[in-house]
Structure 1
Amino acid sequence: MAMRRTQFLLLLLWLLCVYAPTCFCANVTYDHRALVIDGKRRVLISGSIHYPRSTPEMWPDLIQKAKDGGLDVIETYVFWNLHEPVQGQYNFEGRGDLVKFVKAVATAGLYLNLRIGPYACAEWNYGGFPLWLHFIPGIQFRTDNEPFKAEMQRFTAKIVDMMKQENLYASQGGPIILSQIENEYGSVEGAYGPAAVPYINWAASMATSLDTGVPWVMCQQENAPDPIINTCNGFYCDQFTPNSKAKPKFWAEGYNGWVLYFGGAISYRPVEDLAFAVARFFQLGGTLPNYYMYHGGTNFGRTSGGPFVATSYDFDAAIDEYGIIRQPKWGHLKDVHKAIKLCEEALITTDPTITSLGSNLEAAVYKTEAECVAFLANIDNTSDATVNFNGNSYNLPAWSVSILPDCKNVVLNTAKINSASMISSFTTESLKEVSSLEGPSPGWSWISEPIGISKADSFSKFGLLEQINTTADRSDYLWYSLRIDLEDDPGAQTVLHIESLGHALHAFINGKLAGSGKGNSDNSKVNVEIPIILVAGKNTIDLLSLTVGLQHYGPFFDTWGAGITGPVILKGLKNGSTLDFSSKQWTYQIGLKGEDLDLPSVTSGQWNSQSTLPKKQPLTWYKVS
């Protein structure tokens, strides 16, 4: 009997060992040199891939290409307005499936830095804040304000709890090794006065109280309180110094390129310069840089910030908007990463000794009993140089760093590219050419949008309404409609003067387009004077105001506003007088009729498919497959 009991207990113990869930839990801390994972300092290389700027089908391929390029960590923001578009109603599906994305990173064997914020900036609509937040009584964003702090804590805790439930923190065996609270607050902190520091201290305390088991960071926050790690953003962060000797030197955003605005130039950053910046960061004591972006992707739908941030968020990244490796950027950075990893043991063991090799020339040496690593830098951006180091001669091209993992042999110079170049080409097709492509003719179809008020939910108010408060961002469009009755012939020189906070507008007189105006990324305001023709008797003025991405950055950006706030004045009447319509009773319509029809996905029966497309007909929806 005792033998049977012993055999049963042994069998039970074996079953528990075999079928018990395995937990590869990691203890993540930091010291003055690096992130420390399970007691070992790590040199880590990170890159930004924002999950909603690509599709779930793309995620595994993008993450694998990042890993193949030498990355250890994927960084992403969490976008509050994507996940809670209506207060209390959550969306974590499709491109918003955050858990699926984090698990895809884990499957690839990479770590993740989760920048919860929840303010993101990121050139994302309204900085990532849901617009309903703006309507909470007494609220003021990003300051020591109780209604705001309550909502910020609630959402932050929800994301943390979601990650915990899926065991996604490193302390639970998951990939998340860092989290971020707030974002780039230091650049706007002064505008918030004495309430700013209490807010930052509260945000730090709130975040650490959530007990994630991993460190928290704040980027561009010189006064980040302990134990929060303050980090650098910029094109170069080699000169950055943390606010405590106990904190490591991290680079949260190293820019591959820059943001594309509608009508603006496409930004390119030569990979030689980016590689130089990264090598200099490691040369002077850095241990965790992050490429912003490693894959930029696309601002789908109405997610672009603004005003006038483009649909493309390519950012001249190592993986382009479409998920294609960009050469030589991807390949050269991969070579840089390989060279840095050869130096890891020395980098994590000691601090650098910096010596001058001449004007704009320097050496940084990491030396231990077993290792010697050197970085030789020429920080003159025009002249090559030859330097002597440890009895050997080395050529340093202008604005370059040479990496010597053994203090003797150069394995890489940042200015010398060994990767093959590849230039993507795009072909532009006319409408006629598109229809004649091989295979079934796709065929264009169209629907006209009514001019002026066409929906039953229109309403009237005296005066001109600010657009964002009126639409609550349900649409980019707001109609302002006015009927006027002129007793006499107004004359032929009448001009309609319109002032708007932006971002664009179209003016229709008696159903006909009279003129348009638009702002730009530097100044979104629109002031136009449009010659118009009115008649004696009844006339209709219909003004269509458009937003092109809501403001995403700056102090008090949620109060900047948009739309036609006036004045709207009729000038040049025959008798020399003017008419100010600003305080008249206007009729308003939020959105377009086509939006209510869910164009372009509406059934084909409502589309006109005649062979001749309408010309010079404003407000027309077009569709082609």
Structure 2
Amino acid sequence: MKPRTPIAPFALLIFFSSSITYCFAGNVTYDSRSLIINGRRELIISAAIHYPRSVPGMWPGLVQQAKEGGVNTIESYVFWNGHELSPGKYYFGGRFNLVKFIKIIQQARMYMILRIGPFVAAEYNYGGIPVWLHYIPGTVFRNDTEPFKYHMQKFMTLIVDMMKREKLFASQGGPIILAQVENEYGYYESFYGEGGKRYALWAAKMAVAQNIGVPWIMCQQFDTPDPVINTCNSFYCDQFTPHSPSMPKIWTENWPGWFKTFGGRDPHRPSEDIAFSVARFFQKGGSVHNYYMYHGGTNFGRTAGGPFITTSYDYEAPIDEYGLPRNPKWGHLKELHGAIKLCEHALLNGERSNLSLGSSQEADVYADSSGACAAFLANMDDKNDKTVVFRNVSYHLPAWSVSILPDCKKVVFNTANVRAQSSTVEMVPENLQPSEASPDNGSKGLKWQVFKEIAGIWGEADFVKSGFVDHINTTKDTTDYLWYTTSIIVNENEEFLKNGSRPVLLIESKGHALHAFANQELQGSASGNGTHPPFKYKNPISLKAGKNEIALLSMTVGLQNAGPFYEWVGAGITSVKITGFNSGTLDLSTYSWTYKIGLQGEHLGIYNPGYRNNINWVSTMEPPKNQPLTWYKAVVKQPPGDEPIGLDMLKMGKGLAWLNGEEIGRYWPRKSRKSSPHDECVQECDYRGKFNPDKCITGCGEPSQRWYHIPRSWFKPSENILVIFEEKGGDPTKITFSIRKISGFPK
């Protein structure tokens, strides 16, 4: 008999047109099958959307886009370092207005998973923990040390009390159905020894004592004490088992893509594979699933961690960085969610049975006494399609796929059969135009104002010390920049002065990057990479007879965000030598070094539209090109239309950008490079088989990030002040806005 696979292509459309309403309840409990909300078992399909990685003007659209994609829950971390700027000094405005974000979710009639942490990892600077906490004596992060536990509990209690005051827990009629304490601690607990075990137990008990009326979870913790539920983070969690048989199976992080690093390639995860992993999870009894990320967003300002995490945190998520649906992924997952929800009653109330359909093929069937029946037919073979017989009917199963049969008869969805329409995204350039409100509007082009930083010490030195200090311990992350400056005397009899050769400057640094100057002239730059920040610099240096000033600008590019004892990882210069002198190598490492924290422009706040300091800006129609340590400012028009906007920095070097005082973030169109001999880009990705971040990479030899998201809400109708700080030199006349346009899929 010819294989046949009954398909019901319109079932999902009927389901979504009728569709999803959620009532907030006064009671959230659980059993081994699922969460029980208002006395009813429910499947939870959740979407991670981090409120600080977008702006309030985007929140309603992001939440609605997720809901239209078949999601019923929004998940987010709480970002401690964005809220407690110094001990006891709190901020909950702008992008950090947590209550406003949750109330938008509530208004959309959706649930919320609040991962209070307060450690988040998340490729976020310092893992979301405030830098100031590291400098309180006796503190070891995530360990049984009293200062850490005191401040962690204080912040968690603040957040819990805020949620209670606003009646946002489900026990109060709000949307929050789960809360998380700590995050992924099980990965590192063994490194912390007995102190780590005591801390994890303390954190769980402390959370439960908060009495919020909804269950607590602890992500990736293998020995969570009852009643805290442990959860799974991975690319595949179908075989995950909770630590207690009375607890539901929860997947807090299913990664639909991966993050990018400056200098790294562009990783992708195919729609077919992410759908396969989700279907397998529900097939094997999962009931709470969260995409990390569903909308990745943007690491505005200096919030990216890593080091070397890009400003873009797009994550190849179903909703892209700019808030547009990424198709076919968004549409394919929407169909998947509809198919799974059609199975909800049987999945949560039926008895499960497993049938072998072949060597790598199986069926999981859920049926109850009412006659409800749902089946998942899986082909785990990563190379070969198979035809199987289930209940006397033949079904064709593509390799590495799951077919979903909500009535145990008809296939409404197969993970490898992508029917969603693809979309094409373009970044359409829009030249910077002078503002109509600008006094220069009558001129032929854009007028720039330029300010050049001094290479080395500006103003009074912060301190002088023999040898080198740690960069992070010195700046305490108040800036990316730290100047190390010294001077040497070159004898006029040095051979290199006579024969035209040049000595060689040798620098070793713990990271993350540096620019070397001699007598105010840039000699060269160097940096680590996304995996190994330590690096060596080796370049000729131009010296003259007499006194020579050596100025080294050390830079951080986001602080460590995870790992055991990650807060103790340092940065900065560790050795400086110059070879080529008549007497041999000159070691400057023990010299007296003068230090200055940050840039003069930062100190003066010249990126702020309302700054009042006098500064020697130079006005010009032809701004200097390839000039290091230069601030550029222009007053520009808002690009036309209402589509999202990116700033194209392809022709610039490295630095920071602001619009109207808002921090766009770090830019660095650094080209990608191999991290290993086997690290190759692909033309087309094979979705079949276990996924890893290096499986489907593109962008070899291209900038890791060219465009930098500027939210529309940051623009003013007329006068917009764009400020750029360029570290090593670029061409500001080539900076453009780019309008992000999507085609091939209806808005």
Superposition TM-score tier, normalisation by shorter sequence:
over 0.9
Shift of 1:306: 1.4
Note if 1:105 corresponds to 2:105: yes
1:535 aligns with 2:544: yes
Partners of 2:454 and 2:520 within 8 A in 1? no
Equivalence for 1:391 = 392
| 1:233-272 map, 5 Å | 233-272=233-272
Q: Could you list the per-position Cα deviations for residues 234-293 of structure 1 after superposition, in whole angstroms to 9, with x for gaps in the alignment?
A: 111111111110111110000010011112111211111111111110000001110011
Q: Which residue of 2 aligns with 1:298?
A: 298
Contact kept in structure 1, 2:24 and 2:175, CA below 8 Å = no
Task: Look up the match of 1:449.
Answer: 453
Q: Are the counterparts in 2 of residues 117 and 180 from structure 1 also a CA contact under 8 Å? A: yes
What is the aligned counterpart of 2:467 among 463, 467, 482? 463
1:574 to 574, 582, 586: 582
| % identity of equivalent residues | 56
Residue number in structure 1 paired with 2:711: none
Distance 1:240 1:489 in 2: 73
Alpha-carbon distance in structure 2 between the residues aligned to 1:428 and 1:191: 50
Correspondent of 1:594 among 596, 601, 605: 601
Contact 1:435/1:443 (8 A) holds in 2? no
Equivalent residue for 1:372?
Answer: 373
CA contact (8 A) 2:434 2:447 kept: no
Q: For the aligned residues, what is the CA RMSD?
A: 1.9
Q: Deviations over 1:521-542 (max 9, x none)?
A: 0111121122223233221110
**CA apart distance, 1:58:** 0.5
Secondary structure of the corresponding residue to residue 374 of structure 2: strand
Aligned-partner residue type, residue 632 of structure 2: Y
Partner of 1:340: 340
Indicate the residue corresponding to 1:563 in structure 2: 572
* Matched letter for residue 135 of structure 1: Y
Q: Which amino acid is 1:538 matched to?
A: K
User: What is the total number of aligned residue pairs between the two structures?
Assistant: 598
Equivalent pair of 2:504/2:541 in contact (CA under 8 Å): yes
Distance 1:517 1:509 in 2: 15
Q: Does 1:497 align with 2:503?
A: no
Residue identity opposite 1:163 in structure 2? M
Distance of 1:538 and 1:551 partners within structure 2: 39
Question: What is the deviation of 1:25?
Answer: 4.4
State the distance in 2 between where 1:286 and 1:606 align.
Answer: 63
**Structure 2 residue 622 is matched with structure 1 residue 612:** yes
Segments of 5+ residues of structure 2 without an aligned counterpart are 1-22, 497-501, 637-747
Amino acid at match of 2:517: F
Residue in 1 aligned with 2:661?
none
User: Are 2:522 and 1:513 equivalent residues in the alignment?
Assistant: yes
Matched residue, 1:19: none
Shift of 1:455: 2.6
Aligned to 2:208, the other structure's residue is in SS state: helix
- State the TM-score, normalized to the length of structure 2: 0.78
- In the alignment, what sits opposite 1:409? 410
Equivalent position amino acid for 1:511 in 2: Q
Higher strand share: 2
Give the alignment of 1:176-215 within 5 angstroms.
176-215=176-215
Residue type at the aligned position of 2:404 = I
Matches within 5 A, 1:91-130: 91-130=91-130
- Name the SS for the 1:352 alignment partner: strand
CA distance in 1, matches of 2:468, 2:546: 23
Q: Distance in 1 between matches of 2:80 and 2:521?
A: 41
- Residue aligning to 1:479: 483
- Deviation track 1:534-593 (CA, whole Å, cap 9, x = no partner) reads 2332211100000000111111110111111x22122221122x3322222211110001
Deviation larger for 207-216 or 187-196: 187-196
Superposed CA offset, 1:179-219 (max 9, x none): 11111111111211122211110000000001111111111
Greater RCO (Cα-Cα under 8 Å, separation 6 or more):
2
| Partner SS state of residue 44, structure 2 | coil
Do 1:256 and 1:317's aligned partners in 2 also have CA atoms closer than 8 Å?
yes
Which range is displaced more, 435-444 or 178-187?
435-444
Partners of 2:111 and 2:175 within 8 A in 1: yes
Structure 1 position 68, deviation (Å): 0.9
Shift of 1:141: 0.8
Amino acid at match of 1:363: A
Partner letter of residue 459 of structure 1? F
Q: Which residue of structure 2 aligns with residue 274 of structure 1?
A: 274
2:232 partner SS: strand
SS of the equivalent of 1:425 reads strand
What is residue 135 of structure 2 aligned with on the other side? 135
Partner of 1:336, secondary structure, is: helix
Aligned partner of residue 529 in structure 1, secondary structure: strand
How many Å apart are 1:71 and its aligned residue? 0.8
Q: Which residue of 1 aligns with 2:714?
A: none
Q: Which amino acid aligns with 2:373?
A: C
1:526 aligns with 2:530: no
Call closer, same or farther: CA 1:472–1:489 in 2, change over 3 Å.
Answer: farther
Structure 1 match to 2:716: none
In structure 2, relative to structure 1, the CA distance for the partners of 1:580 and 1:602 (3 Å cut) is farther
CA distance in 2, matches of 1:254, 1:454: 48
Bigger Cα displacement from structure 2, 337-346 vs 602-611: 602-611
| Partners of 1:213 and 1:437 in 2: CA distance | 54
One-letter identity of the residue aligned with 1:288: V
Summarize the alignment of residues 342-357 of structure 1 with structure 2, pairs less than 5 Å apart.
342-357=342-357
Instruction: State the alpha-carbon separation in 2 of the partners of residues 352 and 454 from structure 1.
Output: 71
Preserved CA contact (<8 Å) 1:489 1:535: no
One-letter amino acid of the counterpart of residue 301, structure 1: G
Q: 1 CA distance for matches of 2:606 and 2:413?
A: 53
Matched with 2:90 is 90
The 1:138/1:489 distance shift into structure 2, 3 A limit, reads: farther
When structure 1 is superposed on structure 2, of 227-236 and 262-271 the one drifting more is 262-271
- Distance in 2 of aligned mates of 1:438 and 1:157: 50
Q: In 2, are the aligned partners of 1:283 and 1:352 still within 8 Å (CA)?
A: no
Q: Secondary structure at the match of 1:85?
A: strand
For 1:308, the equivalent position in structure 2 comes to: 308
- TM-score when normalising by structure 1: 0.93
CA distance in 1, matches of 2:318, 2:519: 52
Q: Secondary structure at the match of 2:47?
A: strand
